[in-house]
Structure 1
Amino acid sequence: MNIQKAKPEDHIHLTEITKKSKAFWGYSQEQILAWDKHLTITADYIQNNPVFTLVEENKIIGYYSYFKQENNQVKLDNLFILPEYIGKGFGTLLMNDFLQRMRDEKCQKIILDSEPKAEQFYQKLGFKKVGEFETSIKNRFMPIMEMDL
């Protein structure tokens, strides 16, 4: 198993992982379709942002991506794992790689918008909730989380 930089041609597979992972949390197929634009990873996105995949036996089973902001701040944009691998430590493996990469790059703060049902996952890794915003689903709020490095 290894973590490697994504290639633009991985975009279809990463989009599939994103949609399957999101559906794992109980969202309907209609909701996944409504979010299609936000859940689609394009070749251009991979070319223009750091995207790293978790590969097991030549199969991509998860990935993360981020982008840099001002003042040595980074936003974790995506972290998704195929549903059959959720809850088995692979998300933590990806996050530990990401956090080490951010330390190596001298990042001072990481922010992210968490899937509401994944908030505890990020809290266990040391992130703190600093706010929230209502999503397109009434009474569903996305936690805004951050971590100082």
Structure 2
Amino acid sequence: MKIKEASINDNEILTEITKKSKSYWGYSEKQILKWNDNLTISAAYIENNCVFELINNNEIIGYYSYLVKEEKNVILDNLFILPEYIGKGFGKYLMTDFLNRMKNGKFEKITLNSDPNAENFYLKIGFKKIGEFKTSIKNRFMPIMEMSL
């Protein structure tokens, strides 16, 4: 198992992982189609942002990406794993790699908008919920989370 920087040629695989992972939480195919633009990882996105993929047995099974918001603040933009690997420690493995990169850099704070289904995952890692915002789905709110380094 290894983590490496994503190649712009991996954009379709990363988009597939994103959509499959999101679907795992029970969102309908119709809803996934509504979110298509937000769930698509373009070659330009990979080229312009920090994207790292998790490879297991020569297969990309997950990834994370982050954006540098300000000099000392980072946004964890994506963290997705193929459904068959969810709940088996691979997400934690990705998060550990991400946090190590952040702690070894000049960053002081990480923020993210969590899917409601992933909120507990981030809480266990050490993030704190600092707010939430209403989504396009009735009675669904996205937690806004933060961690100081």
- Scaled by the length of structure 1, the TM-score of the pair is 0.99
- What is the distance in 2 between the residues matched to 1:123 and 1:114? 10
**In structure 2, what is the Cα distance between the partners aligned to 1:7 and 1:70?**
25
Aligned length: 149
Cα distance in 1 for partners of 2:106, 2:91 equals: 22
For residues 38-75 of structure 1, give each alpha carbon's deviation from its aligned partner in whole angstroms, at most 9, with x where no partner exists.
Answer: 00000000000000000011100000000001240000
Q: In structure 1, what residue type is equivalent to 2:15?
A: T
Equivalent residue for 1:6?
6
- Cα deviations by residue, 1:84-131 (Å, 9 ceiling, x for unpaired): 000000000000000000011121000000010110000000000000
Letter paired with 1:132: E
2:91 corresponds in structure 1 to: 91
Alignment of 1:1-149 (within 5 A): 1-149=1-149
User: How much has 1:138 moved relative to structure 2?
Assistant: 1.2
The percentage of counterpart residues that share the same residue type is 65
Secondary structure at the residue paired with 2:129?
A: strand
Q: Give, in whole Å, the separation in 1 of the partners of 2:110 and 2:34.
A: 28
| Distance (whole Å) between structure 2 residues aligned to residue 69 and residue 24 of structure 1 | 29
Cα-Cα RMSD: 0.5
Unaligned runs of 5+ in 1: none
Secondary structure, counterpart of 1:69 in structure 2: strand
Could you state the TM-score of these two structures normalised by the residue count of structure 2? 0.99
